[in-house]
Amino acid sequence: MSLIPIKKYKTSLRIIFAGTSKFAVQHLNALLCSKHQIIAILTKPDSISGRGNKICPSPIKSFALKKNIIIITPKSLQSSKIKKKIYTLNADLMLVVSYGLIIPKYILTMFPLGCINIHASLLPRLRGPSPIERSILNGETKTGITTFIMNEFIDTGDIIHILQCPINNNDTKGSLYIKLYKIGIKCMFITLFKIITRKYSLVKQNDTNATYAKKIEKKEGQLNWNLPAETLNRTIRAFNPYPTAYFIINNHKIKVWKASVLKNTKKYIPGKIVTLNKKGLQIATSHNILNIQSIQMPGKKIINSIDIYNAYKKLFIP
């Protein structure tokens, strides 16, 4: 495995940053506090969101508007106009973090130091758009950050650097997000240092070990009592804080924020309310009992198990 053949570069790089999500914002903010120069930002166009169908900028655009940086928001990167605009910026490399658009080969190969992606998994595991949620849903015990040289395929490029972190039994999407952006920033700067100093080798991904983290859909958050309690608990954790797991009872869509698994040897019909007490709402599943400790009724605040017991005894009759 050989080094990338590059010329000697100064320690401050001219970088185009491509990103869209809040996860990307954390990395951009760290870069702006560094010696490197962010000469432009690529992000997805404004989108319609919320109950009022308001047009909203991406988190990256909202952040970058305050920083006086060139912002480019194409619907696609296929046009020759966009290609020319990016080329004339004369960047050393493009850094991609949770961008969301396909980057064509002629842009990937445009930069002297290439296109570097920061991906929230231990590649080749969990390629694709939703690695944080899928790592919890799959019951993985560890995850991490991988930086790699992008090619025209999804998350298959040669690896520059990897940092690992554990997934604890109580980790949610929110808590794992914090762990990953912190080591993501560290991994990003290690990678940039390696590129500048040429002190690294590329590692090819083993496709036989590859898995795919398909995009999360809200409907996946509906709790299916015919599944084991452990699986449902992972769903609750993976969907916290967004889009939130839920179940429906008497036409009420009830969001579930926290739960635990109780061992059980008795036979219950899945979905049966076993009991409601101050420790939680206990519902039978195909294996063991799901003890729901925190819920949110439609239009209401999040409440804990004691408040569930005090306020909703009639709704959750065993």
Q: Is 164 helix (H, G, I), strand (E, B) or coil?
A: strand
Cα(297)–Cα(278) distance, integer angstroms: 17
How many Å apart are CA 72 and CA 81, to the nearest integer?
12
User: Is 176 a known ligand-binding residue?
Assistant: no
Contact by Cβ (8 Å): 271, 284:
yes
Cα 203 to Cα 4, 156, 157, 242, 281: the distances in Å are: 11, 11, 9, 34, 49
For residue 259, which of 295, 225, 219 has the smallest C-alpha distance?
Answer: 295
123 is in an annotated binding site: yes
| 121 annotated as ligand-binding | yes
Is omega for the bond preceding 45 within 30 degrees of 0, making it cis?
Answer: no
Q: Where are the beta strands (DSSP E) in 29-106?
A: 37-42, 47-49, 54-56, 71-72, 93-97
Confirm or deny that 65 is annotated as ligand binding: no
Bind-site residues: 121-124
Bind-site residues for (6S)-5,6,7,8-tetrahydrofolate: 121-124
